[in-house]
Structure 1
Amino acid sequence: MAKPAERAYYRFMVLFFNCMLTFGSYFCFDIPSVLQEQFQGNLTCPNSTVSSGSSNGSECVEGLGMTPQQYNLLYAIYAWTNAAVVIMAGFLIDKLGNRFGVFLFSFLTVLGSAIFALGSHFKGTEYLLPLMLTGRLLFGSGNGSLTIVQNRITAFWFKGKELALAFGLTLAFSRLGSVLNFFLTQRFESHYGMQWTLWGGTLLCVLGFLSAITVSVLDKMGMKQLGLDGTIQEESRKVRVQDIRLLSLRYWLLVLTIMFFYNGIFPFIADASKFIQDKYSGYSQKEAAYIAGAVYDSSLVLSAAVGILIDYVGLRGVFAVLCAVLTLPVFGLLAFTFVAPLVCTIWLGITYSFAAASMWPSIPLVVPQATLGTAMGLATSVQMIGIGVSNLIVGQILGTKNSDAKIPVWRWQRMMIFMLANTISCIVTSAVLNIVDHRQGGTLNRTTKRSAVQNAEVQTDTEPLVNEGEDEGEEDGVNTSSSINAS
C-alpha cells in the first residue's frame, strides 16, 4: 500500500503551503512603489490642499517627507542586504537543509516588515529613516533567501513529475501578491492611512511564517515516510565552500545576463507610478499604480504557460537573447515618445515572463546539483548588487528634492536611457553566453523532449542537471522548470 507521501495529493499539499511562503512578502516588497507619493510627500499640508494622490502637482500630498534619494535607498538597502545574505544563505540551505532555511528566512521577513511599519510612526523625527532602512535590511535578508529554499523544496517534491507546473504555480502565487498590492494598497491607504497599510503587509508576512511551519512539518513527515531523511542529511554534509570553483564560465555569463536584465526591471517598477503621473497627463495615483502593476499582471497570467512552453521547446539561451532585444523598444518608447504607458508595462511584463522562464532555470543545467543552493544564492547576490547600485543611480538622476511637485520630464528621460544601457549590456552578455554554450555542447539550446523529464530520477546529487555528453533524448534530466525567480 502506497504511503501518503507517495501520493499526488501530498506533494500538491506541500506545494500549496510552499507557494504561500512568498505571497505576503511579495505583496510587502512593492508597497512603497504604490505609495511613493505618500513616502515622498510633505510632512504637513493645509487642509484645503491635501490630496490623496492625483496627477495635479500643485496639490499637497501629506506623507513622510522623504526625498527621491531616500525613497530609492529603501530599495537599494533591500537589494544590497539581499546580495550580502543570499550567498551564505544558499550555502547554509545546502548544508543544513530546507527546514532550517524556511523557518529562519520567513521569520526575518516578518521582523523586517514589522520594523518597517513601526518606522512610519516616527514621521518627522530623526528615527524614521534609520528604522525603515533597518526594516528593509532585515526584510531583504529573508525574502531573497526564502525564494531559494522555496525553489529547492519544489524541485525535491516534483522532480520527474509535474515540475514545470509546480514552478509555474509557485511564481504565479508570488506574482499574485505583487498584483494585489498594486490593486489594493492605494485604496486601503486612502481609507485607513499609511501606518495601518504597512501593518497589514506585516500580517501577510505572518501568514507566510505560518505556512513555513506547515511546510516544514509536511516536508519532515514526507521524507521520513519515503526513507530519505538520513540520505539528504548525509549529502548535505558533503557540501563545501570550495565547490564554488566548479562554477563554469557559462554560469557567470548567465549571472551577468540576469543582473543586467533585472537592473532595468525592478528600479523601473519602483518609480513607475510616479513616472506615469509626472509624464502623462490625467492619471490619478490609483490609475498609475494599476498601470505600473501591469508588469506583474502579465507575469501572473503568463508564468505557468510560458514555463511549460519552454520546458517543451528548450532553446533557453535563444529566449534569453530575444527577451533582452524585445525589451529595448519598451524603454525607448518610455524615454522618447508619449505612447500609452499601459502598452509599455504590458509589453515589459511579457518579456519579463519569458526572461524568468528562460534565465533562472538555466542555472541548474550548468552547475552540479549538490551546489544548486550555493549557485542560486550567488546568482541572486550579483543580481541584487546590480539592482542596488541601479536604484542609487536612479535616485541621483531624479534629484534630491521632495516630490510635492513634478519631477522634470528630462530627468525621467535620463532614467530611461540608463535602463536602455542595462538592456544593451544584457544583449551583449546573453549573446556571448550563446556563443560559449554552442562551443561547449549547446546544452542550453537543445530542443527538449518531454519524456526526458522522467530521466531525472536516475541522477545522483553530485551530477550536473544536464550532462553535456549525453544524447539529445537524455539531456534535460531535471528540466528545472520554467519559472524559478529569485527576485
Structure 2
Amino acid sequence: MKPEQWRWRKVVLFLDGVFVIGIYFFIDIPSALQVEFVSDEVMRCHGNESMLTRACCETCLGLSSRRYSLLYATLYWGSAVLSLMSGCVIDRIGNRVSTVLFIILASLGCNLFALAGTPYLRNTSAMFPLMLTGRILLGFGNGPIRIVQNRVVSYWYAGDSYVAVGFVTLTRRLGAILNFAVTANIAVHFGFTWALFTGAMLCSCGILAVLAMVSLDFYGSKKLGLEKKRRHGHHSSVNRKIDCGGLVALAITTLSIPSLLMLAYCPNIPPVILTFTLGIIQLCIVTINGKITIDLVPQSVFGTVSGISLCVTRILMGLVNLAVGFIIQSTDEVDQKAYQKALLLMTAISTLAVSFGIILNILDIRNGDGVNQRFVRTKCMKHADTDDREGLLSEDIKQS
C-alpha cells in the first residue's frame, strides 16, 4: 500500500493545517490592537480623552512606530535564523520530534508576550524586552514549523500536493483572519490582557493537535512499512511534471503591482477589496511555490532547502517591516502620505521580484529544468517531429 492509499492521511493533513491556527492568530495581534500598542502617554488616563476611542486609554503601551515595527522585524529575523539552522536538523530528526519541539517553542513565546502585557508589567522597563523575547521565540517556532508542515505534505501527498499545500496555506491565513475578527472585540468586552492570553491559549491548544498528528503519522508509517524509506529519503515525485507553475506564479505576482498602487492612490476603491485581493495573490503564490518545492526537492534534503529559502524570505520581510516603521515615524507629512511612501516601497519590491521571475523563467524554459514542463514537452515534440520528417526524407532519397 502506498501513502496516497492510506485513508487516515486526510486526518493527518487536517491536523497538519489546524495546529498552526493559533500561531498565526497570535502573530498579528499587534496589528489587531495597533491603537493600544502605539498610542503614547498623552492618550492614557491623565485627564485627557483618547482621540480614537473618545475614552480614557488605560491599556495604551506607548510604543513608537519603530518599536512597533520591531515587533514584526524580530519575529521574522528570529524565524530566519532558526529556519536556516533547523532545516538540516529536521531532515535528521524527522517530522514528529521537530513538530513537537517547535510548537512548544512557539507557545512559550506567545505566553511570554502575553505576560508582558499584563497590568503587572505593562509600561514598565521590562515590558518591551520581554515582548521582543516572546516574538523572537515565536519566530524560532514559526519558521521551522512551516518547513515541517510542507515536509509532512511532501510525504503523504507527493503525487497530488496542490490541494494539500493550498489547505495548509489557507489555515495559516485563517488564523490571521480570525484574529482580526475577534481580538479587538475581546479587548473591548473583556480587556486587553484577556485578548493577549486568548491568542496564547489558542496557540497552546495547537500542542494537542500536534500530538494527535504525530501519533497518526507514526501509526501510518509503521502500518505501511515506509519508516525505513522515509529515513533514507524516499520521495516519489522528484520527476513529476508540474506544467507551467513558474509562469503562473510570475503572472500572479505581477498582479500585486497594480493592487498596491491602487491601495496607495485610489481612495475611492474600498481598501478591504484591495487587501483581500493581495491576500488571494499571496495565497496563490505560496501554494504554487510549495508545490514546486515538493515536486523538485527530495525528501532527504527537503528541510535544508526549505530552510535556506525561508531564511532569505524572512530576512527580507523583517527589513521591509523595519523600513516601513522608519518611513511612517520619520515623515513630517500627513499619515496618508506616509502610508503612500510605504506602499511605494512594497511596489518597488514587487517589481524587482517580477524582474527576477522573468529571468528565472527564461532560464528554466531554455534549460528545461522542470518548473515549466509544458513548454519543455512542446519543444521536445517539435524536435521529435522534425527528426521524424528528416528520417522519412532521408529514406525517400535512399529509395530513389
TM-score by length of 2: 0.84
SS in structure 2 at match of 1:159:
coil
Which of the numbers 345, 361, 367 marks the counterpart of 2:275? 345
Measured in 2, the distance between the counterparts of 1:322 and 1:209 equals 38
Aligned to 2:263: 334
For 2:188, the aligned partner's letter is S
| Identical positions, percent | 33
Map Cα deviations across residues 174-222 of structure 1 (whole Å, 9 max, x no partner).
2221111111111111111221111111111111111111111111122
Q: Secondary structure at the match of 1:123?
A: coil
User: 431-440 vs 126-135, which deviates more?
Assistant: 431-440
Instruction: Specify the alignment match of 2:88 in structure 1.
Output: 91
Partner of residue 15, structure 1: 13
Q: Does 1:360 align with 2:300?
A: no
- Residue 324 of structure 1 corresponds to 253
Quote the residue 2:176 is aligned against. Answer: 178
Q: Which residue of 1 aligns with 2:45?
A: 45
Aligned with 2:124: secondary structure?
coil
Match of 1:437 in 2: 364
Q: Which amino acid aligns with 1:178?
A: A
CA shift at 1:353, angstroms?
2.6
What's the offset of the Cα at 1:367? 3.7
On the 8 A contact 1:119/1:131 being kept in 2, the answer is: yes
- Confirm whether residue 28 of structure 1 aligns to residue 33 of structure 2: no
Quote the residue 2:326 is aligned against. 396
The aligned counterpart of 2:116 is 119
Query: Which letter does structure 1 place at the counterpart of 2:20?
Result: T
State the alpha-carbon separation in 2 of the partners of residues 445 and 230 from structure 1: 33
TM-score of the superposed pair, with normalisation by structure 1: 0.70
- Residues in 1 aligned to 2:191 and 2:161: alpha-carbon distance in whole angstroms: 42
- SS at structure 2 position matched to 1:49: coil
**Which residues of 2 match residues 195-344 of structure 1 at below 5 A?**
195-235=193-233, 314-338=243-267, 339-344=269-274
Change (3 A) 1:341 1:173: same
Contact 2:150/2:290 (8 A) holds in 1:
no
The one-letter amino acid paired with 1:77 is T
Letter matched to residue 36 of structure 2: Q
Greater Rg over alpha carbons, structure: 2
Distance change (3 Å), C-alpha of 1:365 and 1:235: closer
Q: Within 2, Cα distance between the matches of 1:394 and 1:108? A: 28
Matched letter for residue 123 of structure 1: R
Contact preservation (8 Å) 1:23, 1:177 = yes
- Specify which of 163, 166, 170 is matched with residue 165 of structure 1: 163
Aligned-partner residue type, residue 154 of structure 2: A
Q: How many Å apart are 1:400 and its aligned residue? A: 6.1
Q: Is the 8 A contact 1:398 1:411 kept in 2?
A: yes
1:6 is displaced (CA, Å) by 8.1
Q: Could you report, residue by residue, the CA deviation over 1:279-331 in whole angstroms, capped at 9, with x for unpaired residues?
A: xxxxxxxxxxxxxxxxxxxxxxxxxxxxxxxx998321112221222111112
- Contact 1:106-1:146 at 8 Å conserved across structures: yes
Q: Secondary structure at the match of 2:117?
A: helix
Can you give the 5+ residue segments of structure 1 that lack an aligned partner in the other structure?
A: 237-310, 449-466, 473-487
Structure 1 counterpart of 2:303:
373
Q: How far 1:370 sits from its partner (Å)?
A: 2.3
| Residues 1:313 and 1:362: Cα distance change in structure 2 (over 3 Å) | closer
- Asked whether the 8 Å contact 1:41–1:61 carries over to 2, the reply is no
